[in-house]
Amino acid sequence: MKKNRIAKSAALAAGFIFLCALPGLARSDNAPNSAVQTPKAGQPKPQPQADSLSHTDFAGLIYTDEQKAEIDKILKTTEANKDVVLKDGKLNADQKDALLVGYSRMEYGSVYKVLSPEQQRLVRQRILARRSADQAAQKRQPPPN
């Protein structure tokens, strides 16, 4: 019985990871190849963390009316999905947290796609600056004993 719970949790996690990866796999072939950056072989790719998402990355951007409408639609859809997860009695707290973080990631990715190239560049700069500041703060903290 315990194995069934573990199997169900693993299947749920695998399905969720697949759903998160699906938008990246569905890239159209007419997208310019110069926009795709291949990671260097010797350089490990940093793993995203739950706290890597920040509302301040999009703060201060000036949106067009079309962008506002699309972002509002994305936010409403995400909020509806999060409400369903929160009301689901079959999920434990860890599963709910994982799904909520996943929906937030999908929300940020969808909003990012709505932005103009210049706005995307600005958001990328903010993310990189925040990550480097976080890494510097981690280096200053003494290691736990």
Name which of 11-20, 64-73, 74-83, 130-139 the model is least confident about. Answer: 11-20
The answer to whether residues 115 and 61 touch, using CB atoms and an 8 Å cutoff, is: yes
**Structure tokens, 30:** 């007419």
Mean pLDDT computed over 92-118: 94
Angstrom distance (rounded) from CA 131 to CA 52 = 8
Show me where the domains of the chain are located.
54-140
Q: Express each pLDDT in 28-87 by its tens digit.
A: 444 444 444 444 444 443 444 444 567 788 888 999 999 999 999 999 999 999 999 999
Element counts in the chain: helices (H) and strands (E): 4, 0
Angstrom distance (rounded) from CA 134 to CA 136 = 5
pLDDT computed for residue 92 by the predictor: 93
- Burial class of residue 125 in the structure, from the number of CB atoms within 10 Å of its CB (0-12 exposed, 13-18 middle, 19+ buried): exposed
Angstrom distance (rounded) from CA 127 to CA 133 = 10
The Cβ of residue 107 has, within 10 Å, a number of other Cβ atoms equal to: 19
The answer to whether residues 51 and 130 touch, using CB atoms and an 8 Å cutoff, is: no
Nearest by Cα to 114 from 52, 67, 51, 72: 67
Q: Can you give the pTM of this predicted structure?
A: 0.58
